[in-house]
Amino acid sequence: MVVVGAGMVGAACALYAARAGLDVVLVDRGPVAGGTTGAGEGNLLVSDKEPGPELRLALLSLRLWAELAEPLGAAVEYEPKGGLVVASTPEALTALTDLAAGQRAAGVAAVAVGPDQLRDHEPYLAPGLAGAVRYPQDAQVMPTLAAAHLVRVSGARLETGRTVTGVLRGADGAVRGVRTDRGDLLAPAVVNAAGTWGGEVAAMAGAALPVLPRRGFVLVTEPLPPRVRHKVYAADYVADVASDSAALQTSPVVEGTAAGPVLIGASRERVGFHRSFSLPVVRELAAGATRLFPFLTDVRVMRTYLGFRPYLPDHLPAIGPDPRVPGLFHACGHEGAGIGLATGTGRLLAQVLTGENPELDLTPFRPDRFAESEEAAQ
């Protein structure tokens, strides 16, 4: 089979498909991790997901990440550090506590942390916060290393710098492979793991998939000794993730890295593929981070970069066969959660490709689920 897109999701699809015995070619117009993967923070999170299909996928994915970490943990900088979601006001704490209760019922480990215990978990947190919930299952990887190493251990044939220009289909409409700028790659199955550009690949096969970019900036500080232990973010982050608004949203997400710098996210804007710098966005991120961690005020930002999260209108990814085009499979549209959800996505897709029953119900992720509303609109 051909996997289009050598980001984190494509790498995981290649890995699990190859393990299931399939012959895999991974093709990307750029390098490994050249798109959203290379611009991400490497979140493996359950904490930011409301109970439902995405949370089920996250729980599966995190189990798989832990398995992969056995041999690969150091190489991909896997850190099962846990997340700490903090609430600044009593109202926010109430909402957070309710969310955590629902998550617990769905199988998430979530531990309430009182205001007086906060600094036991995060010694540098600002004073006066109302409380927090700790999520021990949350973890982190270095996304580019993770993608590259998954590709490496998959044994898949990697074709970087090769642009897919069309999807080949037979007289019966079934997929026969892909056309690229350097010749055709023939295969009975094509997996669209093109992330933010997944809509373009779907269109090449004649299928509509409304993947859109949601821009985010990340700030990277000077190297520091370990001071931020968890992935720490404010409770309103969950609301931002789930929001449909096109306007700018920023809620601070702060975490240390194995290499020393602290990463600060996460802004969300729908501005198309606009690559220009936005100082107001960066200012908001900085303000949010210094409110959570006042010591950061004197710490310098060395770099800021931006990326585009691939999102679908209902904020769920498209995973599975496309009933409109036999042989076409999708694994894209994971928005800001693609690193974390990659392993589960790859596993489920491999199960579908080999005719097994997928271990999660794929109905919520059906790639053609937007077709009805589009037809209705026309």
| Position 152 contacts other proteins (CB under 8 A) | yes
Least distance to other proteins, CB of residue 30, Å? 8
Least distance to other proteins, CB of residue 371, Å? 36
Q: How far apart are CA 16 and CA 7, in angstroms?
A: 14
By C-beta, is 151 or 241 nearer to other proteins?
Answer: 151
Q: Which helix (H) or strand (E) holds 253?
A: strand 249-256
| Position 215 contacts other proteins (CB under 8 A) | no
335: region left, alpha or beta (phi > 0 left; psi from -120 to 50 alpha): left
Of the candidates 304, 289, 297, 302, which has an alpha carbon nearest to the alpha carbon of residue 260?
Answer: 302
| Position 300 contacts other proteins (CB under 8 A) | yes
| Position 223 contacts other proteins (CB under 8 A) | yes
Sheet containing 318-321, strands listed edge to edge, beginning at the edge strand earlier in sequence: 157-159, 25-27, 2-4, 190-192, 328-332, 318-321
By C-beta, is 55 or 76 nearer to other proteins?
Answer: 76
| Position 313 contacts other proteins (CB under 8 A) | no
Least distance to other proteins, CB of residue 164, Å? 17
Residues facing residue 170 across a β-bridge: none
Q: Which pair of structure tokens corresponds to residue 267?
A: 């802004």
**Do residues 179 and 165 lie in contact, with contact meaning Cβ atoms separated by under 8 Å?**
yes
Least distance to other proteins, CB of residue 125, Å? 15
| Position 123 contacts other proteins (CB under 8 A) | no
Least distance to other proteins, CB of residue 245, Å? 22
| Position 316 contacts other proteins (CB under 8 A) | no
Residues in contact with 150: Cβ distance below 8 Å, sequence separation at least 6, in sequence order: 8, 11, 12, 14, 15, 68, 72, 76
Helix (H, G, I), strand (E, B) or coil at 56: helix
Position among 112, 126, 208, 301 found at the interface with other proteins (CB under 8 A): 301
By C-beta, is 31 or 73 nearer to other proteins?
Answer: 31
| Position 149 contacts other proteins (CB under 8 A) | yes
Least distance to other proteins, CB of residue 352, Å? 26
In degrees and rounded to multiples of 5, residue 55 shows phi and psi of -65, -40
Q: Which pair of structure tokens corresponds to residue 358?
A: 């997928």
Please report, as residue ranges, which positions from 30 to 49 form the binding site for other proteins (by CB under 8 A). 30-34, 38
Q: How far apart are CA 124 and CA 82, in angstroms?
A: 16
- Spell out, one character per residue from 160 to 199, where the chain touches other proteins: x when CB under 8 A holds, - when not: xx--------------------------------------
Position among 107, 170, 287, 359 found at the interface with other proteins (CB under 8 A): 287
The number of C-alpha atoms within 13 Å of 310 and in the hemisphere containing its C-beta is 28
Q: How far apart are CA 150 and CA 37, in angstroms?
A: 13
The amino acid at residue 312 is L
Least distance to other proteins, CB of residue 289, Å? 6
Least distance to other proteins, CB of residue 355, Å? 30
221: region left, alpha or beta (phi > 0 left; psi from -120 to 50 alpha): beta
Least distance to other proteins, CB of residue 325, Å? 29
Q: Which pair of structure tokens corresponds to residue 39?
A: 């611009």
Of the candidates 33, 24, 40, which has an alpha carbon nearest to the alpha carbon of residue 5?
Answer: 33
| Position 148 contacts other proteins (CB under 8 A) | yes
Choices 56-64, 167-175, 303-311, 317-325 (CB under 8 A): range interacting with other proteins: 303-311
Position among 271, 299, 352, 360 found at the interface with other proteins (CB under 8 A): 299
Position among 116, 171, 247, 297 found at the interface with other proteins (CB under 8 A): 297
Residues engaged in binding other proteins (CB under 8 A): 6, 30-34, 38, 144-145, 148-149, 151-152, 158, 160-161, 219-225, 259-261, 264, 276-277, 279, 282-283, 285-287, 289-290, 296-306
